[in-house]
Structure 1
Amino acid sequence: MNVQKITDNPLGLAEAILDDIKSSKEDGVLKCVQCGMCTSTCPAAKHSNYNPRDIVERVLQGDESLIEDEEIWNCFYCYTCHSTCPVGNSVCEINQILKQFAITKGLADDKLYEYLGFADSYYNSAIGAIPSRFYPEIKEDVEGWWEFREHLGEIRDELGLDSLTPPRDVIDEVSLVLTNCGFKERIDKIRENYEADSR
């Protein structure tokens, strides 16, 4: 394997991870003893080539090519690795940070594009909603889901529940916050980059 280093310091990548705002700051990554407990219990490792122990080893080697590795996207943050690690390391936390590095470098637009429907829902409706592009698969996989979804308004009415959609002033306020914090600009850039690359 050709190890690509961020700096001459072999712990440069590990230190960048520890310095990240999402890091729990307990130095777990530096305490890793490569026992493999994380890999032995990881659901993603059972169904893909993803290997949490290998992720940490490469971080400790300062291998920046990890940021471009497809395998980091197989982690879905179940935190099983964290719950079994004898030194309190959290490979899923490391993956969240590595993915953010990839996103910041513009290396993950193709990974995020399919999920922009979630972002659009937050921005346009102030709620999280399943993007319509996923409906056919859910309809096939979850018996009764489509019928439930079609009649959700009626069910809520029968239960005396308000509309699922927040009032317009709430939506406008959430949209303003998401614009001011850079969220809207970021999702627009991801969409623009992906669509430009797809042409």
Structure 2
Amino acid sequence: MSSQQKISDSPINFAEKIIEDVKNSKDEGVLKCVQCGMCTSICPAARHSDYNPRDIIERVLEGDESILADDNIWNCFYCYTCHSVCPVGNSVCEVNQILKQMAIENKIGYDKLYEYMGFADSYFNAAIGAIPEIFFKDIDRDVPGWWDFRLHLDEIRNELELDPPLMPSKETIDEVSKILTITGFKDKIEKIRASQEDYK
């Protein structure tokens, strides 16, 4: 365990810091983890990457702060499947969100945010979530036929007699953009983009 970085002489302090975070809704579920592995067995990210929810909690309980620099924490996309099956009420999904925020606060994870800026732009400019183009090639590789499906989506919807894809009205988009500006979302996007130069 010599390669681990401890935040203090007491490893449990790291877990308690996570439990106290406003994004953690599961009280002391982190401390109740029995390492059963149910979270990992059902996690979609664990099936397609080295991300391991059980390992995340184990490292948190050991006070291993080096996890903040582990690329694997960025493979969780918050499907909340682990959250729904944990027998002791833990939520690795929420823990992961907190770990990412801690990484960003420590200027460890800013470089990881750039790939996701397309999501932010979509929320701000169209009031909806859309898959950024940067991910298209990977999705088409992992999901055979996805690109062809995307290209012919309108035709498929017509064949199924579905309404055309509904886009928010300009009024809605303007309202969402205003909310995202007032709450500081736009400023945060600009700050992240400005920081990009520091990581080149």
Asked if Structure 1 and Structure 2 have the same fold, meaning a TM-score greater than 0.5 normalized by the shorter chain, the answer is yes
How far, CA to CA, are the matches of 1:146 and 1:70 in structure 2? 32
Q: How far has the Cα of 1:31 moved from its partner?
A: 0.6
The alignment's C-alpha RMSD in Å is 2.9
Mapped contact 1:126–1:166 kept (Cα < 8 A): no
How far, CA to CA, are the matches of 1:31 and 1:190 in structure 2? 36
Equivalent position of 1:147 in the other structure:
152
- Superposed CA deviations along residues 115-151 of structure 1, whole A, max 9, x for unmatched, are 21121122123232333444556677423321335x7
Q: Which runs of 5+ in 1 are unaligned?
A: none
Equivalent position of 1:194 in the other structure:
196
How far, CA to CA, are the matches of 1:54 and 1:113 in structure 2? 26
Q: Mapping of 1:22-171 within 5 angstroms?
A: 22-135=23-136, 141-142=145-146, 143-148=148-153, 164-167=167-170, 169-171=171-173
Mapped contact 1:49–1:71 kept (Cα < 8 A): yes
Q: Which runs of 5+ in 2 are unaligned?
A: none
Q: Which letter maps to 2:178?
A: L
Q: How far has the Cα of 1:90 moved from its partner?
A: 1.6
Q: How far has the Cα of 1:175 moved from its partner?
A: 2.0
Q: Which letter maps to 1:185?
A: D
How far, CA to CA, are the matches of 1:82 and 1:160 in structure 2? 34
How far, CA to CA, are the matches of 1:66 and 1:181 in structure 2? 30
Q: How far has the Cα of 1:161 moved from its partner?
A: 6.7
Mapped contact 1:30–1:60 kept (Cα < 8 A): yes
How far, CA to CA, are the matches of 1:170 and 1:50 in structure 2? 37
* Shift in alpha-carbon separation, 1:43–1:117, aligned structure 2, 3 A: closer
How far, CA to CA, are the matches of 1:54 and 1:76 in structure 2? 17
- Give identity over the alignment, percent: 59
After TM superposition, the score normalised by the length of structure 2 is 0.80
Q: How far has the Cα of 1:87 moved from its partner?
A: 1.1
- Superposed CA deviations along residues 19-71 of structure 1, whole A, max 9, x for unmatched, are 11111142110111222332333333333322222211111121111111112
Q: How far has the Cα of 1:165 moved from its partner?
A: 4.0
Mapped contact 2:26–2:90 kept (Cα < 8 A): no
Mapped contact 1:4–1:64 kept (Cα < 8 A): yes
Q: How far has the Cα of 1:75 moved from its partner?
A: 2.2
After TM superposition, the score normalised by the length of structure 1 is 0.80
How far, CA to CA, are the matches of 1:122 and 1:39 in structure 2? 30
